[in-house]
Structure 1
Amino acid sequence: MSGEEYRIGLIHATMNSVQPILDAFQVHAPQVTLVNFMDESLIYELNETGIVTRNMARRLLNLVEKAVMGGVEGVLLTCSSFTPVVAEISHLFEIPVLSADLSMLEKAIDMGNRIGVIATVEAAGPTTKTLLETISSNKQKDVIIQTVIIPKAFHALQNGNRSKHDELIHQKVQELNRDCDVILFAQFSMVRALETLDFTTVPILTSPEISVKSIIAEITKRRIVI
């Protein structure tokens, strides 16, 4: 990976996504300077509405604008539930604006036909499934997607009960493991459950590491073009 000292803006909708992506940058791109922008009310509102409203999209746009005005060379949205918004706003900026999970989803399609998706936020499951279907259609590949949503795990993590969060996810991993070629954790906040997993499974993909490599590659590519 490039050793360039980039400045990258991270847009968060929940505190639970912060540490996993910071850890991923520390491992894979420690030279990068990270600037964090947060609106945690977005995830609470999303859990209530189940959809990304225009008002929520505008608030995300404002966060990206703040990051750009702060001099970052790329922006990464760390909440997968808001991935569709990235496609709507990324063209407004000259620097790369990437979603948390798109590269991970493309990799999953390449790895198998039977894909399991586990999410802990209600909106993240359908969003991830829809994106997988779009990517598979573009690749002209038939896939079977099983989606499991565990709101109790999200609430457990919010309340500081990390062991319960991990336990609930592990149970679903065991169920999907029998019928899937690859399993996806739909959100950054779920990475900790992979770290505490003590049994062998099919490949499990998480987006922090892949996202770090993707945003670095995109910034590097644009620098070379310029």
Structure 2
Amino acid sequence: MKVVMIHTSPVSLNELKALCAEIIPDVELVNIIDDSLLDEVKKNGGLTPAIISRMCQYVQIADKLAPDLIFNQCSSVGEAFDLAKRCTSRMTLKIDEAMAEKAVSLGTKIGVIATVASTMLPSCNLVKTKAETAGKNVEVREYLVDGALDILMKEKNVEKHNQLVLAQIQKAAEENDVVVLAQGSMTSLLPYLDGIAKPVLTSPRLAIERIKQMLEGEIK
């Protein structure tokens, strides 16, 4: 079986590859990376026609590779992927779908933490959509740690990134039933979350576990 992943940066690449090796070791993994997409989203404060067009092209390219599933790695372009996936009949998955569903199952007050502003709206919208599908009323609260992703990716300062984000996680945990980390890049905080009283969800492992279920026909 084959999975094609579309990335907007290499920041989560190694982690996703490691999770695939652990959870779905027999699956062939193909990666498409366009690191200009995220910069364009951030510069424009959201999606542009050009971003949507390129995502459609990448889905079409992925489709030609005859995968069993096409995966979108970046939450910021998740809504562009929703449009682009109409270009294929293959199974598709966004990195944060399984996480959003789990968050809705765990509570009605959901705190969403993002480290780049462009991710906040699509991440919150996804949680609300999953809540509507589940027939559940939820309150979604935003916690933006603006600039933290640049600290991680450009300054390569993991410790500073973690300190900034952890403070918001602690605040969100006090005010909500469950906390959602919108960027997969925040998994570097996992070792520091043991003392948090509320569930704190990250997307990468949940996403790869969902891929396994979809490939095995447990979930469509």
Q: Alignment RMSD, CA only? A: 2.0
Residue in 2 aligned with 1:98?
Answer: 93
Residue in 2 aligned with 1:216?
Answer: 212
Q: Is 2:6 the partner of 1:7?
A: no
Alpha-carbon shift at residue 31 of structure 1 (Å) = 2.1
Moved over 4 A (4+): none
Q: Give 1:110's match in structure 2, choosing from 102, 105, 127.
A: 105
Cα distance in 1, alignment partners of residues 185 and 3 from structure 2: 20
Cα deviation digits, residues 29-53 of structure 1 (max 9, x gap): 2222211100000000111111111
Compute the TM-score of the two structures, normalised by the length of structure 1: 0.89
Structure 2 gap segments, 5+ residues each:
none
Aligned amino acid, residue 35 of structure 2: E
% same residue: 28
Compute the TM-score of the two structures, normalised by the length of structure 2: 0.92
Cα deviation digits, residues 160-202 of structure 1 (max 9, x gap): 1111111111111111111111111111111112234453331
Cα distance in 2, alignment partners of residues 32 and 196 from structure 1: 31
Residue in 2 aligned with 1:65?
Answer: 60
Matches within 5 A, 1:30-49: 30-49=25-44
Cα deviation digits, residues 134-159 of structure 1 (max 9, x gap): 22233332212111111221111112
Q: Give 1:180's match in structure 2, choosing from 176, 180, 184.
A: 176
Aligned amino acid, residue 208 of structure 2: V
Aligned amino acid, residue 219 of structure 1: L
SS in 2 for 1:199: coil
Alpha-carbon shift at residue 68 of structure 1 (Å) = 2.1
Matches within 5 A, 1:131-146: 131-146=126-141
The verdict on how the C-alpha distance between 1:13 and 1:197 changes in structure 2, with shifts beyond 3 A counting, is: same
SS in 1 for 2:6: strand
Cα distance in 2, alignment partners of residues 32 and 136 from structure 1: 31
Cα distance in 2, alignment partners of residues 28 and 95 from structure 1: 21
SS in 2 for 1:202: coil
Structure 1 gap segments, 5+ residues each:
1-5
Q: Is 2:201 the partner of 1:205?
A: yes
Aligned amino acid, residue 41 of structure 1: S
Residue in 2 aligned with 1:20?
Answer: 15
